[in-house]
Every structure is written in structure tokens, then in C-alpha cells.
Structure 1
Amino acid sequence: MTVTLKNVAEQAGLSWQTVSKVLNGQGHLFRPETRQRVISTAHEMGYVPNAAARTMRSQKTRQIGLLLRNEDGHRFHNLAAFTLLLGINSRLEPEDYLLNVVRIGDLGNRRRSRVFREHVLDGLIAFSHFPDTVVDWVTEQMPRCLWVDSNRDDEHNCLRRDESQVGRCVAEHIVSLGYRRVLWAGMSVSPSGHFSLHDRSDAIVETCAARGIAFDTLTPWSKPEQKRWIYTQLPQLLKPDTVVVAYNTHAAQAVLVGASSLGLTIGRDYGLVCCDETPEVYEAWPGLCRVTNDRFEMGRQAADMMLSVLNNKTHQVASRRIPGQWIIGNTAWGPKRT
């Protein structure tokens, strides 16, 4: 037989209203002995909260969605989202919220996702860059929405890494190490690309120009089906006074593999620094000179902002930017030390 609030109340000798408030996060309104009596009685009777009934009473589902760019056919489009997810959940779980993953592929068909059709979510955290059509549709459907690491950059409800600061951080260390030429490795800057592309490269180009450091771009032979790049110009371009600035860890790995196959030693025959990092780098390549990108902390901050959005009548919270920090590695020592 299902144990109800009224059953617990009768057994504890209290009103069902008191029992309901204690078991639904309002126990601070009562004396400690009252709270303990309710909790002990509920536990002994095997009481399980009814989520549907609680939703009807509070008009809240206590569920938050995480919208990801994981289209059908590209299951591993954004592995970094997993670290962000862990950070979000670590902040939401103590507040008794559940996290739902929503794929961008679920928005592109007529069925839509159940979380939108049935108003399952109290709020939505959208991670990464989305087409304008998706942004417009989500904004219309979910007024309590937070944009994380997105091209959307408003005064409210946006959280992103300070990519211009990241670019300046990289450029300043290149200058201090004494390199005289920079090679940019990674995706090309385009109007439709992620904001980090132009923010990072613009800051590096500006600093290099001011210090008289040459700046060029490596053109990769792309293999889109394998999500990787192959650089064929490395033998002619890599020199001790040259440093490769990788947009992300994929580009850094591509340069390392290509240069190693030619017998070039990283840190001695050329320098390599990266504007990004992933959890895999911590264990597989800790010596990579790079700028931190703590996606777990970003997830925690995103969840914290979402909780503020839910508790704010305007559904708005001030936007934030997260700075990066330089990690000293062994992949770029500068030509003066070779």
C-alpha cells in the first residue's frame, strides 16, 4: 500500500500541512524535535514523495534542462559538455533539482522534445553555439534560459570564458619567451563560427603586431569525416624561433603528430602553446603550455546563475565572464633557451 502524507501525519500525531512542509524543504519553520519526528516517521513507514503531486502544489517541476550540440550522427560532437554537466549537477543536486539532457537534434523535427511540449522544465541551460533559428525558438519557449559559452552575449543570463583575455595571455607569454614568429593552427575565423575563434586570434594578432612579431596561419588538409587536421607545411615553417598557437587541443595534437613524424622535437625545434584545455590533457599531456579552461567550474557557475534566475521575478541575472590562467609546461621555452 502506498504511504501518503496523511498516513505519516496520523502516525506522527501532527497535521498533514506540517508534515508536508517539513518533507518539502520548509523544516526550518518548525522546532528541531518536530522536524525529527516527521523525518523518522516517514522513514519508518517507507514514505516516498510523489513528484507529480508536488509539482501540482508548487507549480514547479524542479527539473533543469541542458541543451547540447549533439546532433544525430555526431554523438561525440562535444565531449567537453560532460565535464560541464558534472559541474552543473554538483550544484543543482543539493538543491533537489534534476538535470535533463536535451539534444539539438530533438529540436529539428516536428515532434520536438517532450521537455518543451509538456513543459517539463523549470529552466534551460544552453551550452555552446547554436544557429539563430534555434536561439530564437528556444528564447520563445523558455523565458528562464541561460546561455553558456555561446555567441549570444547580453548583459543578462550569459556565461562565457573571457576569450579575449585568453588570447592576450597567450600573446604576452609568447613575447616574454622571445619568439619572433607565430603560426596559428586550428579552424579559420568566420562570421558563423564560435566567438572564441575571433576573440582569441584577434587578441593574439593585435599583440604580435604591436611587438613586431610575424603572424601567419597554418592551412590544414582537413579530413572532416575524422574530425581532425593534417598539416603538410611543417617542414618548411617550424623553426626554433617559431611558436605554434593551437586554437584547441585537437589542433595541438595534430601539430605534435606531424612534427614528430619529421623528427622535430617539441620545445627545442619549435614551440607549441594552446588556447584551450580538456580533462584528457591533465593526464595524457600535462606538459602542454596552455591556458586553463575549467569547464567543471563553469558548470557550477552556470547552475548557480540558473538558481538565481529561478528565484528572480524578472528571470534575469547579471552575465559573467571567466578568465583563464597560464599553465607553464615544457612545450615552449623560447629560442633563447635552445
Structure 2
Amino acid sequence: MSVTMRDVAKQAGVSLQSVSNVLNGRTSQMREETRQRILQAIRELNYQPNLQARSLRMRCTKTMAFLTIDPAARFLSDPFHVAILSGMVETLRQEDYGLLVHGFHPKQAGGGFRRLAHQHRFDGAVVHLSGSAVSRAEHIEELVSTGSPFVLIEDCVSAPTAACVLADDQGGAFAAVAYLQSRGNQRIGFLATDRLWPAVEKRIAGYEAAIRAGGGGWSQVWEVERETVEGACERVEAVLRDDPKVTAILCANDVLALGASQAAKRLGRSVPASLSIVGFDDFDFARYVDPPLTTVSLPGAEMGGRAAELLLGYLKDGQFAASELVFPTVLIHRGTA
């Protein structure tokens, strides 16, 4: 038979309320001798609180969520998601919080956030959305309607229960193109995943703005069908065969940049002498490939950690400490440009 709070109260010779006060840290008005007697009874009886029932009473689950709408079957292996999750976990475990991860396919996402919120499985969520601007706005409206606090990654929102954590994607892309132009490159293309991620939209905007600012009359955005090294390699190989005058490529992320580098090797194009390549994100592998990737760095793990901090602060204070955090991006010079 399991030990109950009533058993602890009887063993310590106190009321149920006193035991509850100790378990919930409400001991400022309690005599130290009484607190110690209750703690001793808990140890002697090996009492284990029913955390699920306690959470239901307190409307607190001690769980945060990472929610994403991502068409990729292996969305959890995405290096950016790995970085965000790592930062979240590092922050949450210091506060004894667990993490729920849930990925929606775009075709099945309608109403998903509302259903999850009504199940009371988490206290707040970090959310990363793909989709058109219109569909993302619809999902954000749904999130707001749940009344649960959430933090958007790489997208903007304005609501009392919402905050956003962003990187300067547009500025990072602009700086990368300006650097490539300063090295004499005139035909600089952009290799993109689909445009359904807000960060990719901003990186393309930064690329196009830099081309215009540099007086260039040529620009081209190539999209890959598969966001993999192999998919990027095949796309870039086809592009370079069709237009060998391309001398530089800015890539939407480092996975695509690695594929671009592989394509150059297949075609006998020396990197960076014959083809300069710049990635984005500075994933962990970027410095270890051959040649090491020149890339635009953004602090994914720190972004995830700060998003979790914002949620914890909201639960404590009833409001976000900041409605928007923007992290700088930095061009990291290595061997591909």
C-alpha cells in the first residue's frame, strides 16, 4: 500500500495542511522543529508525492514544450532544432522542469495547438513555425487564443501572452554578400530551402538587398527539393553545369553549404579559388569539414535558453521580461570563402 500525506501527518503528529505547507515550500510561519519533524516522517516512511495529482491541483505541470510545424520526417535531427532544444534543456533542468517535444506536419496542424493546450500538459511553449506568412499568422492566432504563454523562434508576434526570440538573419546575409563582393565576386547566387521558414525569408531579403547595394545586376535564388547534403549537392551541380560563371554561393544553412562544397569537388571547382561558399548558422560540424565552412554564426543554443528563461519569468511574474530579443549574427571566416 502506498504511503499518503495522511500517513506522514499522523507519523509527525501534525495536520495535513502542515505537511502540504512543507511539500510546497510554505514554511515561513512554521516553527523549525515542526518542519524538521515532518521531513523526518517523510524520510522514515519513504513518502513520494503524487506529482501528477499535485500538478492538477496547482495547475502547474513543471513541463515546458517545444512545438514545431515542420514537413520534415526527421525534424528532431535538424541541427538548429538540436541547438534550440539543448539551450532549453540546460535552462529548464536547473528549475526542475521537464520538456515535451511535439512536431506537427503542416497538413495536420490545424487546431493542434488548441487541443494540446486544453490537455494542460505543459505550462508554456517555445514554438518554431514553418509555412506561408498567412498560415503562420493563423497558427499564431490560435496560440494566442489558448491563453498559454509561448515564445516564437525566428518570427514576430504581439500579444500579452507571447514573446519572440530572433536572430539578425537579414543583417547576417547582407554582411556575407558584401564580403563576397569585396573579394571580387559578381555572380553570387543564393541556395535556399523552401521559403516556408521565416528565417530563410529574411536571409533571402538580406541577400537581395546586398546585391542591390553593391550595384550588381545579377542575382539568383535556387531552391532545393530535399534539405540534405545530397539534395544540395545535386542542385548545385546542375546549377554550375548550366552557368559555370557563378563564382560564389550564399547558402541558407550549413547543411546546404556542405552540399555545395561537395558539388564543387565533383566538378573540379577549387574552393574557394574557383567557387566561394558561405553557409549560415555555424553548426557544430562547420569547422571540421574540409575545407572548414565560412559561415554566418548565430547562437541557437543561447536563443533556446533565453526563450526558456522568458517562459519561466512569465510564470513567476505574470508577464514577459522582454517582448522581443534579437541576437546578432557574425560572419566567421574559415576556408570556403
Q: Give the conservation status (yes or no) of the 8 Å contact 2:174–2:207.
A: yes
> Does the CA contact (< 8 Å) of 2:140 and 2:157 recur in 1?
no
User: What is the aligned partner in structure 1 of residue 307 from structure 2?
Assistant: 302
Q: How far apart are 1:280 and its partner, in Å?
A: 3.7
Shift in CA distance, 276/28, structure 1 to aligned 2, threshold 3 Å: farther
The corresponding residue for 1:206 is: 209
- Whether 1:167 and 2:168 are equivalent positions in the alignment is no
The equivalent residue for 2:102 is: 102
Instruction: State how far apart, in whole Å, the 1-side matches of 2:60 and 2:239 are.
Output: 58
The change in CA–CA distance for 1:148 and 1:287 in structure 2 (over 3 A counts) is same
Measured after TM superposition, the shift of residue 301 of structure 1 is 0.7
In the alignment, the residues of structure 2 paired with residue 280 and residue 36 of structure 1 have an alpha-carbon distance, to the nearest angstrom, of: 52
- The answer to which of 297-306 and 323-332 deviates more is 323-332
Output one character per residue of 1:113-165: Cα deviation in whole Å (capped at 9) or x when no partner: 86334232222221133524333323222442221123x34385111112122
Q: How many residues align?
A: 325
Q: Distance in 2 between matches of 1:144 and 1:46?
A: 36
Structure 1 residues 320-329 or 280-289, which shifts more? 280-289
Unaligned runs of 5+ in 2: none
Over 3 Å counting, the alpha-carbon distance change for 1:95 and 1:261 in structure 2 is same
**Counterpart contact for 1:228–1:250, Cα < 8 Å:** no
The Cα of 1:108 is off from its aligned counterpart by 3.8
Gaps of 5+ in 1: 333-338
Q: Name the stretch that deviates more: 127-136 or 267-276.
A: 127-136
Aligned to 1:336: none
Q: Does residue 1:88 correspond to 2:88, yes or no?
A: yes
Please say if residues 67 and 126 of structure 2, whose CA atoms lie closer than 8 Å, have aligned partners that are also in contact: yes
Distance 1:41 1:85, change over 3 A: farther
Map Cα deviations across residues 216-275 of structure 1 (whole Å, 9 max, x no partner).
Answer: 22546x544978231223257556x93221121232123212110111221222211112
Does structure 1 retain, via aligned residues, the 8 Å contact 2:310–2:320? no
Deviations 1:161-220 (A, max 9, x none): 1212212332343355x2332422323885xx3232332233233334333456422546
Alignment of 1:146-165 (within 5 A): 146-150=151-155, 152-154=156-158, 157-165=163-171
Per the TM alignment, residue 41 of structure 1 is displaced from its structure 2 partner at its CA by 4.3
Aligned to 1:289: 294
Q: Secondary structure at the match of 1:298?
A: helix
Tell me the residue number matched to 1:76: 75
Residue identity in the other structure for 1:330: G
Distance in 2 (alpha carbons) for counterparts of 1:2 and 1:145: 37
Residues 244/37 of structure 1: CA separation in 2 closer, same or farther (3 Å cut): farther
SS in 2 for 1:259: helix
Alignment of 1:256 onto 2:291? no
Q: Is the 8 A contact 1:70 1:76 kept in 2?
A: yes
Q: Contact conserved, 1:3 with 1:48, CA < 8 A, in 2?
A: yes
- AA of the residue aligned to 1:211: G
Q: Which residue of 2 aligns with 1:233?
A: 239
SS of 1:157's partner is strand
Alpha-carbon displacement from aligned partner over 1:61-114 (angstroms, at most 9, x marks no partner): 22222212245x723376232331222122122223222122224954789886
Kindly provide the amino acid, as one letter, of the partner of residue 53 in structure 2.
A
Deviation at 1:302, TM superposition (A): 0.8
In 1: Cα distance, 2:94 partner to 2:216 partner? 50
